[in-house]
C-alpha cells in the first residue's frame, strides 16, 4: 500500500513536470516562430526556404500545407501570421477582410500518361483533346483525334483512365482553369475550381495518389505539379500552346510563360499565366499567392513575414531551381515590395523600404 | 461471524457520504456519454440545416455534387456507402461465419488459439494500412487480372445468382405454403425457371458479352475501364476489414449454443452439416444477424481505407468496377477546403448527419438482435 502511494506520488510529480516542460517549450516556440498555412502546391519550396532562412538568420517559419481554402480561412480568422492560396482570392473578399495579396513563386502543372508500348514523353496532345478526355468524350487511346496528333505512333486500343485529385487542390484549380480556357465545353459543363464535378475518371488522394494511380493503370492520364513528375520520372506529353507550337514541360518553358504575364494591370497582382501566347510558353503555369493582414495586431510579426519573403526573393533561386519552381521576374519582386507598404500598424508602414 | 458482519454494516453506514459522491460520479460519467451523443447529433443537424432547408428530402436523391455551381446532392455518396458495405457483407458474412464455425466445431484444439488470435489481429491493422495495401497492391491485381476475368466470365456470376435465388425462393415457398401439392408445384416451377435461366446463360455465355453494354443489363455490372479502384475494390477491402469483427462475434455466439442441443443432434445420427443448419443456426440466428450488423456498422463509417480504393468520383456507380464515393470519403476529401457558412460545409454536415442516423439504426438493430438471440 505504502509502495503504491509512493509510486503514485512519483508518477504525479513526473507528469506535472512533463506538462510544465511541454507548455513552456510551446510558449517559447510560438513566440519566435512565424506561422503560415495554406496551399500544398508551393509547400516544398516554402519548407526548403524556411530551412535555409533559419540557418542563415535564426527566425524559424512553420508552414502547414493544409490546403488553399483552409489557409484563407485561417488568415481571415487571424490565427496564423500569413495565409497561402494557389488561386487568387476574389478582390471583394480581400477588401472585406483587409488582406493584402502578393505572388510568391511560380509553378507549373504537367500532364502525365502511362500507355504500355508508347513513349509518353513524345506523345502530342492539345488542350481541347485533354479536355474532351476529362469530359468522357474521348475514351480510347486509339481515338482518331489523338492519332491525328501523333502520326507514326501506334496507339493501342486501350481505354483511357483519367485520374484527378480527390482532395480539393490548387493543382486542380490551375489545371481546370487551363482546360476551361481552351475548351468551351469544359468551361460550361464543368468549370474551374479547386474541386469540380468531374464527368469521367477516378480521384486519387494527393499528388502521390495521382502519381500512384497513373503508375498502376495502363491507359491512365493525369496531372501533377511539375516537381512531382520529375522526381518520379513520370512520362509527360508535349502540349500545343496558344501560338500553335509544341512544347515540352521544362523550366525554360515555364519562365517564358512567366515573362509574358501582364503583372502591371492585374488587380491584386493576380496575373494569369494560363494559356499565354508565345512560341516557347508552357500553357499551364501559375503563381501561388501569400495573404497578409493589412492591419496586423502585431506589426513586428508581419515584418518578420515580409523579411522572410524578401530574403527568399534575394536568395531563394537555388532552392527554387532545384525544386523546379520559377522565381518571380525581378520587376515583379520590386512591385511586391512596394505593395508591402500597404501593411500598416498604428498608421505607420511596417515594411522598412517605404518612403 | 455475526460480529464481523455487524462491523461491515457499520462501515457502510459510515461511508454513506462517500457512497453518494461515488454514485453521482458514476451517474455523471454515464450522462456525459448520452449528452455527447445528443450534442453531436444536434450539432450535425443544425450545421447541416441550410442544406436540408434548401433541398428538402430531395437532398437524398439529387445526383449532383458540383462545388463550382454550388449544387450538392447526397445520392452518389449515400448509394456508394450502402453499395460498398453491401458487397463487403456479401463477402465477409459467409467467410466470417465459416471461420467462426471452423474455430468452434471442427478446428484441432491446438490450432484454435493461434488461428483465433490471427483473425483478431486483422482487426488491429490500422485502416490506413488497408488503404495503402488496397491502392498499391490490390488495385493493380484487380485491374490486370481480376477485372478482365470477371468481365469475360460475368455469366458465372449470374449463374450463381440464379441458383441461389432459385433455391432460396423455392425453399421459402415450401416454408410458407407447406408441403401441400400446391406448394410443391409452385416451388418446382420456380426451380425449373431458375434452371432454365442457368442453361440459357451457360449456352449464350460467349455471345452475350459482345452485345453493346447499353442493351444488356446483366453485363452492365461487369463493364468499365480497368482502373483497379472502384466500388468492388472498396467492397473487397472493406470485407477484409470487417471479417475479424464478424468472425469473432459469430464465434462467441456459436460458443453459446448449448452443448446438449448439439450432442442431441449428433445422437440422432445427424451429420455435421445437418447439426449446423438444423440445430446451431436456428438456436442463435438472431445473434448471428447481430454479428453481421456490427460488421456493417464498421463498414459504413470506414474512411481512410475507402478513400484509397473507391475511386472518389462523385457520381452514381453504373457497374461493380465504376469509381464512386462514400459519405465518409467525400467528407474527408472535401472538408479542409469547405469555408465556414458555405453551402458546401452545410451539405457535408448534412451528409454526416445522414451517416450518423444510418449507423445508429444499424447498431441499434445489431444490439436488439444480439439480445434477442441471447434470450432465446
**One-letter-per-residue 3-state SS of A200-234:** CCEEECHHHHHHHHHHHCCCEEEEEEHHHHHHCCC
Residues of CATH 3.40.190.10 domain(s) within chain A?
A: 2-107+285-349, 109-284
Residue B309 has what pLDDT?
93
Q: Is the pLDDT reported for residue B15 higher than 80?
A: no
Whether chain B has a CB inside 8 Å of the CB on A192: the answer is yes
Q: Judge if ipTM > 0.90.
A: no
The third-level CATH classification (topology) of the domain covering A2-107+285-349 is D-Maltodextrin-Binding Protein; domain 2 (3.40.190)
Mean pLDDT along residues B86-115: 88
pLDDT at residue B13 greater than cutoff 60: no
A20: pLDDT strictly greater than 80 = no
* Cell (9 digits) for B115: 488461428
Question: Can you tell me the mean pLDDT for B346-364?
Answer: 91
Q: What is the pLDDT of residue B372?
A: 67
Kindly tell me if the per-residue pLDDT of A12 is higher than 50.
no
pLDDT band at B3 (very low <50, low <70, confident <90, very high): very low
The residue among A197, A198, A210 with the most chain B CBs within 10 A of its CB, best to mutate, is A197
Which position has the higher pLDDT, B39 or B177?
B39
Instruction: Say whether pLDDT at B374 is over 60.
Output: no
Predicted confidence band of residue A106 (pLDDT cuts 50, 70, 90): very high
Segment B35-66, tens digit of pLDDT: 999 999 999 999 999 998 998 888 988 888 99
Q: Which residues of chain B lie closer than 8 angstroms to A72, CB-CB?
A: 339
Cβ–Cβ below 8 Å for A203 and B323: yes
Is B340's Cβ below 8 Å from some Cβ in A?
yes
Q: Please say whether the beta carbons of A268 and A101 come within 8 A.
A: yes
Q: What confidence score (pLDDT) does residue B68 get? A: 87
pLDDT given at position A27: 36
Residues in chain A closer than 8 A to B136 (CB atoms) = 212, 216
Cα–Cα distance measured from residue A207 to residue A111, given in angstroms and rounded to the nearest whole number: 12
Extract the runs of DSSP E, i.e. beta strands, from chain B. 65-66, 71-72
**Residue of B127, B336, B347 to mutate for A, most A C-beta atoms under 10 A:** B336
Give the whole-angstrom CA distance, residue A341 versus residue A336. 9
Asked if pLDDT for residue A15 goes beyond 60, the answer is no
Residue A266 three-state SS: coil
Q: What residues of chain B lie within 8 A of the CB of A219, using their CB?
A: 225
Pairing of strands A99-114, A285-293: antiparallel
The angle at the Cα of B84, spanning B83 to B90, to the nearest 5 degrees, equals: 85
With a cut of 50, say whether residue B26 has pLDDT above it.
yes
Could you tell me which residues are beta bridge partners of residue A293? Answer: A99
Evaluate if residue B370 carries a pLDDT over 80.
no
Q: Kindly state whether A222 is in contact with chain B, defined as any CB-CB distance less than 8 angstroms.
A: no
Q: Report pLDDT for A137.
A: 93
Residues in A touching B325 (Cβ below 8 Å): 203
Flag whether pLDDT at A124 surpasses 50.
Answer: yes
Cβ distance B337 to A220 less than 8 Å, yes or no, reads no
- Indicate whether A297 pLDDT > 90: no
| pLDDT value of residue B216 | 58
What pLDDT score does B219 carry?
Answer: 63
CB spacing of A217 vs B136 below 8 angstroms = no
pLDDT tens digits for range A240-280? 999 999 999 998 999 999 888 888 788 888 888 999 999 99
∠ CA(B281), CA(B285), CA(B288), 5° rounding? Answer: 100
Task: Judge: B67–A196 Cβ closer than 8 Å, yes or no.
Answer: yes
Categorize the per-residue pLDDT at A285 as very low, low, confident or very high, splitting at 50, 70 and 90: very high
* C-alpha cell recorded at residue A261: 504575364
Judged by a CB distance cut-off of 8 A, whether residue A110 touches chain B is: no
Residue for grid cell 484549380: A173
Mean pLDDT of the region B147-175: 81
Is pLDDT above 90 for A189?
Answer: yes
**Structure-block grid coordinates of residue A48:** 526548403
Residue A4: what pLDDT?
45
What was the pLDDT predicted at B341?
78
Q: What is the pLDDT of residues A68-93, one digit of tens each?
A: 878 888 899 899 999 999 888 889 98
Q: Which helix (H) or strand (E) is A36 found in, with range? A: strand A34-38
Measure CB to CB from residue A191 to each of B68, B228, B337 and give the nearest one. Answer: B68
Residues on chain B touching A198 (C-beta within 8 angstroms): 313-314
Distance (Å, rounded) from C-alpha A94 to C-alpha B2? 83
Section A304-309 average pLDDT: 93
Q: What percent of chain B has pLDDT over 90?
A: 30
Q: What is the percent of chain B with per-residue pLDDT over 70, rounded to a whole number?
A: 90
User: A44-58, A105-119, A125-139: lowest mean pLDDT where?
Assistant: A44-58
List the CATH code of the domain at A109-284.
3.40.190.10
Q: Is the Cβ–Cβ distance between A105 and A326 less than 8 Å? A: yes
Average pLDDT, chain A: 87
Region B61-372: CATH code: 1.10.3720.10
Contact yes or no for A336/A102 (Cβ under 8 A):
yes
Interval B201-210 mean pLDDT: 66
Amino acid at each position: 500500500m505504502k509502495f503504491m502511494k509512493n509510486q503514485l506520488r512519483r508518477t504525479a510529480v513526473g507528469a506535472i513536470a512533463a506538462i510544465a516542460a511541454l507548455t513552456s517549450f510551446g510558449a517559447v516556440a510560438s513566440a519566435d516562430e512565424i506561422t503560415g498555412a495554406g496551399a500544398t502546391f508551393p509547400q516544398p519550396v516554402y519548407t526548403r526556404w524556411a530551412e535555409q532562412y533559419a540557418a542563415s538568420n535564426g527566425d524559424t517559419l512553420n508552414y502547414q500545407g493544409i490546403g488553399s481554402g483552409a489557409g484563407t480561412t485561417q488568415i481571415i480568422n487571424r490565427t496564423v501570421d500569413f495565409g497561402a492560396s494557389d488561386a487568387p482570392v476574389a478582390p471583394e473578399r480581400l477588401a472585406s477582410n483587409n488582406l493584402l495579396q502578393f505572388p510568391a513563386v511560380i509553378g507549373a502543372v504537367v500532364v502525365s500518361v502511362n500507355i504500355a508500348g508508347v513513349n509518353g514523353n513524345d506523345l502530342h496532345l492539345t488542350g481541347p483533346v485533354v479536355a474532351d478526355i476529362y469530359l468522357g468524350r474521348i475514351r480510347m487511346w486509339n481515338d482518331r483525334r489523338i492519332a491525328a496528333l501523333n502520326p507514326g505512333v501506334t496507339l493501342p486500343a486501350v481505354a483511357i483512365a483519367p485520374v484527378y485529385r480527390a482532395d480539393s487542390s490548387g493543382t486542380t484549380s490551375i489545371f481546370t482553369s487551363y482546360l476551361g480556357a481552351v475548351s468551351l465545353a469544359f468551361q460550361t459543363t464543368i468549370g474551374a475550381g479547386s474541386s469540380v464535378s468531374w464527368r469521367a475518371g477516378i480521384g486519387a488522394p494527393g499528388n502521390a495518389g495521382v502519381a500512384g494511380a497513373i503508375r498502376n493503370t495502363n491507359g491512365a492520364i493525369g496531372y501533377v505539379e511539375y516537381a512531382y513528375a520529375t522526381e518520379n520520372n513520370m512520362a509527360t506529353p508535349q502540349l500545343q500552346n496558344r501560338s500553335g507550337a509544341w512544347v515540352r514541360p521544362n523550366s525554360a518553358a515555364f519562365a517564358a510563360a512567366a515573362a509574358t504575364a501582364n503583372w502591371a494591370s492585374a488587380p491584386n497582382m493576380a496575373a494569369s499565366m494560363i494559356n499565354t501566347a508565345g512560341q516557347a510558353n508552357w500553357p499551364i503555369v501559375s503563381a501561388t499567392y501569400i495573404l497578409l493582414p493589412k492591419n496586423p495586431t502585431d506589426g513586428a510579426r508581419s515584418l518578420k513575414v515580409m523579411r522572410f519573403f524578401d530574403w527568399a526573393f534575394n536568395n531563394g533561386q537555388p532552392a527554387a531551381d532545384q525544386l523546379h519552381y520559377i522565381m518571380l521576374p525581378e520587376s515583379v519582386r520590386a512591385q511586391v515590395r512596394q505593395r508591402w507598404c500597404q501593411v500598416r500598424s498604428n498608421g505607420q508602414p511596417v515594411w522598412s523600404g517605404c518612403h | 461471524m455475526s460480529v464481523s458482519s455487524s462491523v461491515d454494516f457499520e462501515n457502510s453506514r459510515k461511508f454513506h457520504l462517500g457512497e453518494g459522491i461515488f454514485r453521482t460520479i458514476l451517474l455523471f460519467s454515464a450522462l456525459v456519454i448520452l449528452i455527447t451523443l445528443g450534442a453531436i447529433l444536434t450539432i450535425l443537424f443544425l450545421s447541416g440545416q441550410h442544406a436540408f432547408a434548401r433541398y428538402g428530402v430531395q437532398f437524398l436523391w439529387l445526383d449532383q455534387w458540383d462545388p463550382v455551381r454550388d449544387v450538392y446532392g447526397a445520392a452518389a455518396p449515400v448509394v456508394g456507402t450502402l453499395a460498398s458495405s453491401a458487397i463487403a457483407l456479401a463477402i465477409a458474412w459467409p467467410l466470417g461465419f465459416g471461420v467462426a464455425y471452423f474455430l468452434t466445431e471442427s478446428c484441432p484444439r491446438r490450432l484454435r488459439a493461434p488461428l483465433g488470435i490471427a483473425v483478431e489481429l486483422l482487426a488491429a491493422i490500422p485502416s490506413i494500412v488497408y488503404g495503402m495495401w488496397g491502392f498499391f497492391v490490390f488495385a493493380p491485381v484487380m485491374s490486370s487480372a481480376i477485372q478482365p476475368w470477371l468481365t469475360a466470365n460475368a455469366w458465372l456470376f449470374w449463374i450463381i445468382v440464379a441458383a441461389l435465388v432459385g433455391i432460396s425462393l423455392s425453399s421459402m415457398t415450401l416454408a410458407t405454403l407447406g408441403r401441400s401439392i400446391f406448394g410443391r408445384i409452385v416451388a418446382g416451377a420456380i426451380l425449373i425457371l431458375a434452371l432454365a435461366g442457368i442453361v440459357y446463360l451457360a449456352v449464350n455465355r460467349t455471345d452475350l458479352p459482345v452485345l453493346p453494354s447499353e442493351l444488356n443489363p446483366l453485363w452492365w455490372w461487369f463493364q468499365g475501364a480497368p482502373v483497379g479502384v472502384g466500388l468492388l475494390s472498396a467492397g473487397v477491402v472493406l470485407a477484409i476489414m470487417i471479417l475479424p469483427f464478424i468472425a469473432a462475434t459469430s464465434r462467441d455466439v456459436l460458443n453459446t449454443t448449448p452443448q446438449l442441443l448439439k450432442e442431441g443432434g449428433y445422437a440422432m445420427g445427424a451429420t455435421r452439416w445437418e447439426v449446423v443448419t438444423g440445430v446451431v443456426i436456428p438456436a442463435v440466428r438472431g445473434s448471428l444477424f447481430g454479428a453481421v450488423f456490427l460488421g456493417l456498422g464498421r463498414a459504413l463509417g470506414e474512411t481512410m481505407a475507402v478513400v484509397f480504393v473507391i475511386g472518389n468520383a462523385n457520381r452514381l456507380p453504373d457497374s461493380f468496377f465504376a469509381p464512386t464515393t462514400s459519405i465518409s470519403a467525400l467528407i474527408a476529401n472535401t472538408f479542409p477546403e469547405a469555408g465556414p457558412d458555405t453551402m458546401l460545409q452545410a451539405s457535408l454536415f448534412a451528409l454526416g448527419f445522414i451517416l450518423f442516423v444510418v449507423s445508429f439504426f444499424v447498431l441499434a438493430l445489431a444490439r436488439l438482435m444480439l439480445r434477442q438471440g441471447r434470450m432465446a
